[in-house]
Amino acid sequence: MSSVMADQRDDFRTPASIWPESQNRLAHTERRFLAFVTATSDVVYSMSPDWREMRFLAGKEFIADTHHPSCAWLERYIHPDDQAEVLAAIDHAIRNKSTFELEHRVIRADGTLGWTFSRAIPLLDAQGRIVEWFGTARDVTERKRAEQALRDSDRRKDEFIAVLAHELRNPLAPLINAVQLLHRAPNDVTTQHQALAMIERQTLSIAKLVDDLMEMARVTSGRLQLQLERVSLADVVERSVEIVSALIAQRQHRLSVTLPPHALEVHADAARVQQIIVNLLNNAAKYTDEGGRIDLFVSREGELAILRVCDTGIGIEPELMPRLFQPFTQSPYSVARSRGGLGIGLSLVRRLVELHGGTIEARSEIGAGSEFTVKLPACDSSAQPDERVQPASSTEISARSLRVLVVDDDVDAARSLAMLLEGNGHVVALAHDGMPALSIAAQFRPHVALVDIGLPQLDGYELARRLRANPQLQDVQLVAITGYGHAEDSLRSYEAGYNEHLVKPVKFTALEELLSRAAQRLSSAD
């Protein structure tokens, strides 16, 4: 018996004998926990059963660390507007002994606002009572910002589509009215002139919208190729002012242009620099009430050419300034929306400026006007401009009559173009699809064929290939006319056999120049 008791005494060793082993296990557990806390990218924390005391927090520089109990965690870390929601979620988790899970805002260690996804589980004792909460919180600030940016982008695109529909409907009403006027007063010359002027203005307005959209698509996709040369800013400014003069006069603005005393040139694409200036002047005219003032200053500052457009307009809202140059950005106020436009003009301007290695900035106050400053690298003032051959004037049209085949499934477009060509003394044949065009071309033997690419049965590409395959038609000047203006569209036209690729709407002066060159080539061949 005494032997058994002795064995039992050996089994029940004193605490001092087992204490080192327990300490080792505890230390090992703590090391593993700290290793986990260090390795994870999440914030790790523990809470008292009622969440009134934070017992541990490893913040990962997201929110401040603390290894001491704190009862001020709610005010210290949680955004004031989210505290009620956090407390409600905590109360629900405590009552149900369930997982706490919530996405909410937090005050970061640097004082800025952030977002976190927080998740904590209750640790229960043998009786099922909560003894502690252990949780993690993940920094989701960048994701929330990206989501907000995506929502803002979608909203701006939705607004853009609505504005686009509005901008396209606007010119349709006067166009329809002008057609009705022509029907009702076919012999009234005054009415005809007014209706035709109205049609011209509104079609140019639609063409401007389409051009802006196509330009924006080319720029954003990186398909815009600059034609760089030495450009006189004075010449570009002069042409730009001519373009906007009608709008300036219509709104009764006073436009002042200040040029430097000496020639100022930039190495740039003249058409794109003109586009920059025209957009800025149009913007100033549109957002300046009638009778306002617009100033265009051109100067040189060191190695930079400076273009500054100032106006006495309505100004720009402060909340709009950070995204002023983003696509589809427009003023939220109806007074600005009534001015029209798609909200892509300034975005296009910025992209064109940056393509030239320049910068643009804006300053404005509500009711005190706006100022846009463009800075472009200037050319060396000592260098001489290149000598270039001046293009022939569009009025220098050869008197030689050409046979022109017009192929377009839009009957009105084909007939109206034929009437213009016949008015210039050319002989015109019409076709509204590819197969009829082949037979007409074989008999008509055109000098020039103006072909719409999107034909219903035999498209313009296949038509060109078949025309080129006919030995009697190999010398015909083939001109593709299409609504597609990307570089790959032009390449596809040339590969099919076209000599020229024109994008709708085609200005008749451009066609006149093209036909003039064709006539000159024929005269030289004779």
Residues 246, 156 share a domain: no
Could you tell me if residue 395 is inside a domain?
A: no
Last residue of a domain, which of 92, 112, 139?
Answer: 139
Could you tell me if residue 396 is inside a domain?
A: no
For residue range 164-176, list pLDDT tens digits in order: 776 677 677 778 8
For residues 390 and 458, what is the distance between their CA atoms, to the nearest angstrom? 40
* Whole-structure pTM value: 0.47
More confident residue, 194 or 47: 47
CB 353 within 8 A of CB 374: yes
Task: State the DSSP H helix or E strand holding residue 248, giving kind and residue range, or none if neither.
Answer: helix 233-250
CATH number at residue 163: 1.10.287.130
Residues 407, 363 share a domain: no
Residues 508, 421 share a domain: yes
Residues 369, 265 share a domain: yes
Burial-class residue 251 by CB neighbours within 10 Å (0-12, 13-18, 19+).
middle
Angstrom distances, CA of residue 353 to CA of 273, 281, 312, 374, 376: 8, 15, 24, 7, 7
**Strand 100-107 to strand 54-58: parallel, antiparallel, or no bridges (unpaired)?**
unpaired
Count CB atoms within 10 A of the CB of residue 401: 13
Q: Given a cut of 70, is residue 34 above it in pLDDT?
A: no
Residues 477, 364 share a domain: no
Amino acid code (one letter) for 304: L
Could you tell me if residue 385 is inside a domain?
A: no
CB 336 within 8 A of CB 269: no
**Strand 448-452 to strand 403-407: parallel, antiparallel, or no bridges (unpaired)?**
parallel
Cα torsion angle, 285, 287, 290, 293, sign: negative
CATH number at residue 508: 3.40.50.2300
More confident residue, 26 or 60: 60
Angstrom distances, CA of residue 234 to CA of 304, 305, 490, 502: 15, 11, 32, 29
Residues 43, 131 share a domain: yes
For residue range 323-341, list pLDDT tens digits in order: 677 665 555 443 334 445 5
Domain that holds residue 71: 8-139
Last residue of a domain, which of 325, 360, 377?
Answer: 377
Residues 129, 166 share a domain: no
The residue written with tokens 């709008």 in the block is 247
For residues 286 and 205, what is the distance between their CA atoms, to the nearest angstrom? 14
For residue range 408-466, list pLDDT tens digits in order: 988 877 888 888 888 888 999 999 999 999 999 999 999 999 999 988 889 999 999 99
Residues 132, 186 share a domain: no
Could you tell me if residue 19 is inside a domain?
A: yes
Average pLDDT, the chain: 81
Residues 132, 162 share a domain: no
Could you tell me if residue 334 is inside a domain?
A: yes
| Structure confidence at residue 339 (pLDDT) | 47
377: which DSSP letter?
E
Residues 201, 109 share a domain: no
Last residue of a domain, which of 220, 249, 277?
Answer: 220
CB 52 within 8 A of CB 45: no
For residues 278 and 296, what is the distance between their CA atoms, to the nearest angstrom? 11
CB 358 within 8 A of CB 377: yes
Would you state the structure tokens that stand for residue 255, as one six-digit string?
């436009």
Residues 119, 186 share a domain: no
| Structure confidence at residue 383 (pLDDT) | 42
Could you tell me if residue 435 is inside a domain?
A: yes
For residues 483 and 121, what is the distance between their CA atoms, to the nearest angstrom? 62
Could you tell me if residue 163 is inside a domain?
A: yes
CB 145 within 8 A of CB 63: no
List strand residue ranges (DSSP E) for 227-354, in order.
229-232, 254-258, 265-268, 293-301, 304-311
For residues 223 and 27, what is the distance between their CA atoms, to the nearest angstrom? 64
CATH number at residue 298: 3.30.565.10
Residues 360, 296 share a domain: yes
CATH number at residue 61: 3.30.450.20
Number of domains, the chain: 4
Mean pLDDT of 11-27: 58
Could you tell me if residue 34 is inside a domain?
A: yes
